[in-house]
């Protein structure tokens, strides 16, 4: 009888622990699948604007400069390890697309680390954009 109770107790412990292990694995997988997390953003400078020109190594935006109250063209080098959000490749961007850029700046050179394409009101979101 003691063996049966011990076996049942062990099964209950294993049964309770198994969902926790699966949940931890699910969280790990979903975290790895996220392209951009909020902690990634805090280390960069933020900017926003409309694409004027885009190439494999550089993106130029038209941005509003609140200090001088004028619109300016601002060029960003594209980091080879750039994270893209809302599109799959730099070549998917076109002039007039609105993007958010998170960048680092060193010696006056701005390097885009994360680029998010804004979805316009008339454009449908697809699962791959999310």
Domain residue ranges of the chain, discontinuous segments joined by +: 1-33, 38-120
Tell me the CA distances in angstroms from 62 to 27, 71, 75, one per residue in order.
39, 6, 9
For range 118-123, the mean pLDDT:
67
pLDDT-derived band of residue 123, with 50, 70 and 90 as boundaries? low
The more confidently predicted of residues 1 and 58 is 58
Q: Virtual CA dihedral for 82, 56, 102, 98, nearest 10 degrees?
A: -130
Q: What are phi and psi of 66, to 5 degrees?
A: -70, -30
Beta bridge partners of 75: 60
Share above pLDDT 70 across residues of the chain, in percent, rounded to a whole number: 61
Kindly report, residue by residue over 43-72, the tens digit of the pLDDT.
Answer: 999 999 999 999 999 999 999 999 999 999
Strands (E), 43-121: 45-54, 58-65, 70-85, 98-106, 109-117
pLDDT-derived band of residue 41, with 50, 70 and 90 as boundaries? confident
Fold of 38-120: OB fold (Dihydrolipoamide Acetyltransferase, E2P) (2.40.50)
pLDDT at residue number 29? 35
Which pTM was predicted? 0.65
Structure token digits, residue 28: 């790990």
**Which positions ≥6 away from 33 have C-beta within 8 Å?**
none
Kindly report, residue by residue over 14-38, the tens digit of the pLDDT.
Answer: 444 444 443 333 433 333 334 566 6
The more confidently predicted of residues 103 and 20 is 103
């Amino acid at each position: 009888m003691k063996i049966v109770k011990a076996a049942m107790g062990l099964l209950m412990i294993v049964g309770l622990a198994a969902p926790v292990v699966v949940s931890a694995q699910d969280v790990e997988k979903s975290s790895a699948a996220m392209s951009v997390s909020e902690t990634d953003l805090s280390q960069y400078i933020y900017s926003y604007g409309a694409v004027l020109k885009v190439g494999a190594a550089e993106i130029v935006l038209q941005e509003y400069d609140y200090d001088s109250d004028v619109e300016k063209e601002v060029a960003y080098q594209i980091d080879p390890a750039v994270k893209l959000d809302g599109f799959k490749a730099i070549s998917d961007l076109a002039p007039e697309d609105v993007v958010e850029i998170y960048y680092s700046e060193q010696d006056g050179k701005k390097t885009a680390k994360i680029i998010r394409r804004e979805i316009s009101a008339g454009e449908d979101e697809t699962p791959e954009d999310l």
